[in-house]
Amino acid sequence: MVATIRSEFVDPLSQLLVGEQVQLCDVPLGPMRAVSDVIEKPAERFGIALEPGLAGRIFEDVRSADALPLLAYILRELYEQHAGDGELTLDEYHKLGGVHGAIGARLGHVLTDPAPTPQECAALRRAFTCHLIRADEGAAEGERYLRRPAPRASLPQAAARLLDRLVEARLLIARGEIVELAHERLIDDWTWCRNREVISFPIRSWLAEDAADRVLIERLRRWDGDDVLPDGLLARAEEMLRRDPELAREEPDVFARVTRSRRTKTRRKLSLVAAALVVGWSVPLVGWSLLVFLAIDVLIGVVGRRRATA
């Protein structure tokens, strides 16, 4: 019997099968070599005619097995949106954005018609980074992210409308009360253009920022110096809180320290300003007093010399 499993499960399965008469072999997918096997034959089977050059263009854009999920997505989009007349063309393929642009184009439609509110954007980001994606701790090839099924009830309520639209666009999969990414290949930085403006949905960048935030939170949690945080550390913590206000609820002790630090620094600055104002008013008064004393001293000296002369 031969079975295949996803690569992230190889190590855990190997540990479970210690001593068993089961052999695990790593057989990575090589580059695709036959355009007919993956594009032309399926089209022929369903009676779809391909414009000359279309299959070759798609095959060139795919290049490697890593892009197979994108290939599956663009072929399905082509079939459902343009196969009604029994033919698929290069122009239709390019209008969808091609293999690497189709997902960005679909995201652009989902997230711009109508445009989401700032609260919806923040909630959607949190849904992806905190619930739908996890880091593969045992990845041998470096940083790797995997999809993580999540109960619909655990996802931010403010993102509900956008999550529904992503499910309709088949970028998310809903199975009963469970929601997950359609594929790990979606974990990337996506961009699209709207009215000549480049808009992004930077999932991978969000994950990197969240990883840096976790390091910062741990540093704040372990801070044992003065109760007032240094300016640089305080500014980073405040920026993190501004970007994701939910962190204040999740880490109340950490952000209570941030709030105390800001208040203490504000009071110190106000005290310095008050002292500067006092000094500012005092200096002129002292100056005038010295001038008066000097004038009196001069007058006394003049009068004394005149009396001596008389």
Distance of CA 293 to the CA centre of its chain: 69
Q: Are 155 and 163 in contact (CB under 8 A)?
A: yes
- Least confidently predicted of 30-34, 80-84, 291-295: 291-295
CA distances from 26 to 32, 141, 143 (A): 18, 14, 20
The DSSP code for 40 is I
- Residue owning tokens 């010399």: 305
How would you classify the pairing of strands 145-147 and 150-151?
unpaired
pTM more than 0.85: no
Query: Which pLDDT belongs to residue 114?
Result: 82
Q: What mean pLDDT is predicted for residues 155-180?
A: 92
pLDDT in tens, 223-281: 876 678 888 888 898 898 888 888 888 888 888 888 888 888 888 777 776 676 665 55
Q: Are 87 and 51 in contact (CB under 8 A)?
A: yes
- Tell me: pLDDT of 204 over 60: yes
User: Three-class SS string for 41-53?
Assistant: HHHHHCCCEECCC
Q: Residue 92's pLDDT band (boundaries 50, 70, 90)? A: very high
Distance CA 56, CA 93 (A): 12
**Among residues of the chain, what percentage have pLDDT more than 90?**
16
- What are the residue ranges spanned by the domains of the chain? 205-261
Query: Which pLDDT belongs to residue 305?
Result: 44
